[in-house]
Chains A and B, each alone.
Chain A
Amino acid sequence: EIVMTQSPATLSVSPGERATLSCRASQSVSSNLAWYQQKPGQAPRLLIYGASTRATGIPARFSGSGSGTEFTLTISSLQSEDFAVYYCQQYNNWPRLTFGGGTKVEIK
């Protein structure tokens, strides 16, 4: 099983500031990595796939980078609606899909 580790667990950021979230895989997943956003009481929403491609309708302030074992999700200027939990997920080892533990982005 590929273990995905996200850091930090919680990130406190002021509106308008930049947020950088990290995701590490226990072995290479190439670029087969997705990021999801989840707000309280809601289903996850796809943000990024292929490590760096924004999903349909996702604002340009969200960007993904990395390959192999190290990945980053950057939110360039946090808006109020961006405060949520973010999960990375590898699909290189499909169908054995695994998620990271999540990073909560909270208001500072």
Chain B
Amino acid sequence: EVQLVESGGGLVQPGGSLRLSCAASGFTFSSYWMSWVRQAPGKGLEWVANIKQDGSEKYYVDSVKGRFTISRDNAKNSLYLQMNSLRAEDTAVYYCAREISELGIAKYYFDYWGQGTLVTVSS
């Protein structure tokens, strides 16, 4: 059974930092692109960042570029999101999600999601 379990959320002051983790199990973690997706309270979904199987490619939504860093440790089956210079507008539930594509097409959507971890940026 595929499982994704996020941790590391909490309350942080504006300008502060936080590191989120996602522990993966039930599948070959090193074979998949992985993403972070967030959802502000009462709002919709926003893709934040993703990372290639070997960590050699990373992409970010413009609003977090230069502040957030996605990484992974395939030996530990874990995905991370280092968040620096946090702002009030970063307040959200952060989901870890596995990316999948139709055979032969390098375009990916999400087939499994974790339960999320809440990040609150407030003084």
Contacts and interface: CB of A to CB of B under 8 A. Distances in A.
Interface of B: 35, 44-47, 50, 59, 61, 95, 102, 106-116
A91 interface: yes
The interface residues of chain A, by DSSP majority, are classed as: loop
Classify chain A's interface size.
20 to 34
A68 interface: no
Given A43-B95, A55-B111, A94 B44 contact: no
A50 interface: yes
A92 B110 contact: no
Contact of A92 (B47, B50, B95, B107): B107
The interface residues of chain B, by DSSP majority, are classed as: strand
B117 to A, nearest CB: 11
Interface of A: 32, 34, 36, 42-46, 49-50, 55, 87, 89, 91-92, 94-102
Contacts of A98: 47
Contacts of A92: 107
